[in-house]
Structure 1
Amino acid sequence: MSKYSGLPHAVVALWLVVSMPVVASDGTTKRYIVHFADPAFATTATATTAAVRTPSQRGLPAWHLRRVAAGGELVELSSAEAEVMAASQGVLAVEEDRMIDLAGIGIVDPLWRRQWYMHDAKVGIEAPVAWRDTRGEGSVVAVLDTGVTPHPEFDGQLLPGFDFIADAHAARDGDGRDADPTDEGDWKDPGDCGAKQFSPSSWHGTHVTGIVVARAGNTPGIVGVAPLAKVVPVRVMGRCGGRLSDLADAIVWASGGEVAGVPGRAPVDVINLSLRLPGACGMTMERAIAQARSRGTAVVAAAGNDSIKASAVSPANCPGVVSVAALARDGGMASYSNYGDGVTVAAPGGTLWGMGVDDILSSVDAGERGRQRPVFKYYAGTSMAAPQVAGLVALMRSADPLIGVDEITAQLVDNARPLPGPCPKGCGAGLIDAGATVSAVIEDSVLPRPGS
C-alpha cells in the first residue's frame, strides 16, 4: 500500500513538490503528526498553513514525510505553522513527533548471585509455581526497545524482528528501517543529546529480553519468566532515544497491523514497552495501542522512574495499558518508581542501592560503545518490572490462548497479592503472583465465555 494512501491526490502532489523541509524564519522546524477528521480537510489546512510563511517561503507546501500506521500524517513545520495547522478546520490533533526515553535503569556492578525476584518467599513473583502448569509454550512477546544483541540466553528464543528507526543517524547502522533489530549501542559522548559526560551503551533491550525469555538449563545463565515463549525483538530506540512516530508504527506492526514498506506478521500475544514519554497519552499513541488491543495483543508498559504520578507519563497512562510500578528488595515501593492511580500492578524492580544483589540480574553486552561479548548485569528500574508482567502474560496466553486483553488485566489485578512493604502513594492492585494468576486462568478457561 502506498504511504500516501487515503490522501487527496492534489494534496499528495503538493507535499511531494519540495524535497527539503521548509525552514521557518528563525531557521527551525519540527516534526509533527497531524490527524485529520477526514483526508479532504488536508487541502484546506495545508493552504491555510502556507499563508503564515515569509514572502520567500509562501506557496511552498508542508513537507510530508510519511503516513503513520496508527493514523495521522508525519510532516515538518515551524512552530507557527503548527499552531495554524492545529486551528484549521477538520484537524483533530497536531502532536509533536517527540523523542521517547527508556523508562530508566540504574546500573550497578555486574555480580551474579541469584534471581530473587522470581522466587523469594516474601517479594518474588512465584514464577516456579506457575511453571508447574506452563513455561510459556506457544506464546510470543514483542519487546519494543533498543533492539537485541547476540547472547547464549537467546539461542532458539528469538523470532524475526524489525528495526523501525527511520533516521539512519539515530540508528547507527548506516541505513533507516530494515529487518535487522540488532542493537548498535546507545552510548553518549559529551555533547551528544545534551550529555555532559560519556555514558556507555545500556543494551537495555537485551536486558529486558532476558527477563522475559532467557532459556533454562544453560550454564552459567539465568532463566526468564516465560522460558519457552518466543520474543520478537523490535528496535525503536537508538542514538538519543526514539521517535513517537516510529514507536507507533512498531506497535501497529507487532500486533499484526499493516505498515507501509514493512512485511507483515501475525499478532503477538503481548507487547512490552519499557520506555516513557512525559505528558498525556496523545492521539497517536492512543490509536496505536487501541489498534493493538483490538487485534488481541495486550500492552504492558513501565510506569516510569520519575518519582511522580504514573498518570503523567505515556504510554503507561494510555487507555487499556497494563502499567507496572517497581518494588524494592524489601517489598515496598522503589524510591524511583512512579506511583498512584495510573498504576495497574507492581513487580520487583530492584532497590538501586548497594552492590547490586538487590537489583534485577539479566543479560547484556560488555561493550561500552559497540558490542564485545555477552555478560550479565544488575539493573534496577520499572524497565525491569514491566517485562516480568509481560512474561506472566505470555504464561497466561500459553495456558489459555483465547483469553482476551481485558480478561488478562482483570486476572492480573484479581490475583495480585498484598504488597509485602509500604507503598502509601499507590502501587496498583499489589504484587503480581504468577502462580495464582496462571491457576486462575486455567480454572476460568473451562467456563463459558460471553457470546459463546
Structure 2
Amino acid sequence: MRFTPFVAMATLAASNYVAAESARYIVHFADQGAAHTARSASRTAVTARHAADTPRHLRSLAAGGEVFELTNDDASRLATLPGVTSVEEDVLLTPNTIVDSLWKRQWYMHDPKVGVDAEVAWKYTRGAGAVVAVLDTGITPHPEFDGQLLPGYDFISDAGAARDGDGRDADPTDMGNWSDPGECLSSLGKASTWHGTHMAGLIVARAGNRAGIIGLAPEAKLIPVRVLGRCGGRTSDVADAIVWASGGDVPGVPSLGKRVDVINLSMGTTGACHPALKRAIEQARSRGTVVVTSAGNDQKNVNTNTPANCPGVVAVAALGRSGAMASYSNFGRGVTLSAPGGNLGERGADDILSTWDIGKRGRERSVFGYRGGTSVASPQVAALVALMRSADPDIGVDEVTAQLVDNARPLPGPCPKGCGAGLMDAGATVDAVVEDRGRRRP
C-alpha cells in the first residue's frame, strides 16, 4: 500500500513505477514459530536459487507482520503458508497535492470566525518541551526551522522511490517526489510538492524572526520522518515509522529512545484500516503518543479512507474560508473535529500559508507557499496537541481527544454530512487543560 500526502487529500494508488516491480505483501502469522518457518523457507529457496518460485522475505515489521515479495503477483500462494492468518497488499499511500497557491495572511490563526484562536493559547504556552513527529516526504532547509528540528530518519526502504541512492538511513531530507508523464498512474508529470516541509511549518515555524510566518506551536520541537517518496509510500514503511516515532524498537534502526507527544499523518488511501497500521497505531497509543490524521480530500465518508479510519486516531476534516465544510473534504461520524483547510480555489488568500521550496524537481530556494486540503488541517490539530502536552505533560491519549472534542467551537458554517465536534479551538482547549492540571495538583 502506498500513501500519499494530503494537501487536498490525494487518493492512495499504486503507480506504474510500482506495477513494473515485483508485488509486495504483508503477511500476518498466528505465532512467531510459523513466521520463523516462513522466513527460513524463503532464505533456503533464495540460497538454492529457486527464488522465482518462492516468496522472498524482505523484513519483519516492528508492530507485527512479515513483508514478502512475489515476482508474479499471485498472493494466493502466500495464504497457503502454514500459520497465515491474513495477507494484505503492501500498497502505496501518496501525498495530497491539488493546489499550490500564494497567500499573504495567516487567517487560520486569528480570524474571529474561522481561526483557531492561537493568541489565547499562547498566553499559557507556545509548546516548550513538546515534541512532534511529522511522517511525510521529509524536510528541506528553511530559515523557519533554525533550531526547531531534532534528528529524524528516512524510512523509505526502496532506493528508487527514495531517490537518495540507498534504503533506510538517518537523513530525512526530502529529495523531491516529482514524477514524469506515465508514472504514478498519471498521464501528466507532477512537480515536487515539498509536502513535509509545508506541514512542518504549520507546527513549528519559529517566532521572532523576520522570515514571515509562525507555527501554532513555535517553541515545540519537530522530528522529520521520511516515509513518502516517488509515487507515495509503502504501508510497511509508514507502520515501522509510527512504531519508531512513538519510542518502539524497529529492527535495523537506532532507537529514538523516547516517544514523541504526537504524530501527524497527512496522507491516506482508499480502503479499510490495514492490520499493519492498526497494530502500529495501537502500540503508539499504548506508549502515550497521540496520532493525528487528515480525513482525506475525496468528498467521501471518512470510513473509506485509511489511516483516518483506524481506531484511536484523531481524524481531522477541513473547513473552507467561510467556515463551512470544504467542498473537497471527507466527512462522517468518524471525523473527530475540523480545522481550517482553505478553499482550493483560484484565490490563494483563501488557502493556508506555510514553508515551501521553489524547486520543481530538486530543492532550489526556500520560500513560502499556499496550499489547501485536509493535509494542512491535520498539522494544526497536531500542533494543538503539542500545546496541550506542553501545558500538561501527563495528559493521557484519551484525555487529549476528549479535550479536543469538548472544547471545539460550534461550526461557523454548515456541514450536514458530519465534521466532528466542531472547529478546533486552541485557546479554549489549552485553557481547559491548564485548569484540569491545576485541579489535580495538591
When normalised by structure 1's length, the TM-score is 0.88
1:256 corresponds to:
247
1:177 corresponds to:
168
Distance 1:58 1:304, change over 3 A: closer
1:321 corresponds to:
313
SS at match of 2:184: helix
2:337 and 2:439 map into 1 onto residues whose CA distance is 25
Aligned match for 1:156, one of 144, 147, 151: 147
How high is the sequence identity, in percent, across the aligned residues? 64
Q: Is the 8 A contact 2:101 2:351 kept in 1?
A: no
1:350 and 1:126 map into 2 onto residues whose CA distance is 16
When normalised by structure 2's length, the TM-score is 0.90
Q: Deviations over 1:46-69 (max 9, x none)?
A: 8999xxxxxx96995421101011
Distance 1:114 1:59, change over 3 A: closer
SS at match of 2:32: coil
Greater relative CO (CA pairs within 8 A, separation 6+): 2
- 1:12-411 equivalences under 5 Å are 29-42=22-35, 61-77=54-70, 81-86=74-79, 90-102=83-95, 104-111=96-103, 113-265=104-256, 266-411=258-403
Q: CA deviation at 1:189?
A: 1.2
Q: CA deviation at 1:28?
A: 7.5
Q: Deviations over 1:241-281 (max 9, x none)?
A: 11111101100000000011111111000000000021000
RMSD: 2.2
1:257 and 1:38 map into 2 onto residues whose CA distance is 20
Q: Is the 8 A contact 1:332 1:423 kept in 2?
A: yes
Gaps of 5+ in 2: 1-19, 43-48
1:46 and 1:166 map into 2 onto residues whose CA distance is 19
Q: Is the 8 A contact 1:332 1:421 kept in 2?
A: yes
2:97 and 2:78 map into 1 onto residues whose CA distance is 38
2:361 and 2:304 map into 1 onto residues whose CA distance is 32
Distance 1:32 1:115, change over 3 A: same
Q: Deviations over 1:402-440 (max 9, x none)?
A: 001000000000000100001000000000000000011
1:340 and 1:79 map into 2 onto residues whose CA distance is 39
Q: CA deviation at 1:446?
A: 3.0
Q: CA deviation at 1:93?
A: 1.4
1:108 and 1:85 map into 2 onto residues whose CA distance is 42
1:160 and 1:319 map into 2 onto residues whose CA distance is 29
2:13 corresponds to:
none
1:326 and 1:343 map into 2 onto residues whose CA distance is 10
Q: Is the 8 A contact 1:46 1:85 kept in 2?
A: no
Distance 1:348 1:42, change over 3 A: same
Aligned partner letter, 1:374: S
2:295 and 2:120 map into 1 onto residues whose CA distance is 26
SS at match of 2:273: coil
Alignment size in residue pairs: 417
Aligned partner letter, 1:220: A
Of structures 1 and 2, the larger Rg is shown by: 1
Q: Deviations over 1:341-378 (max 9, x none)?
A: 11000000001112210000000000001001100111
Distance 1:174 1:88, change over 3 A: closer
1:264 and 1:78 map into 2 onto residues whose CA distance is 33
Q: Deviations over 1:169-216 (max 9, x none)?
A: 110111111111010001111122222222111100000000011001
Q: CA deviation at 1:330?
A: 0.2
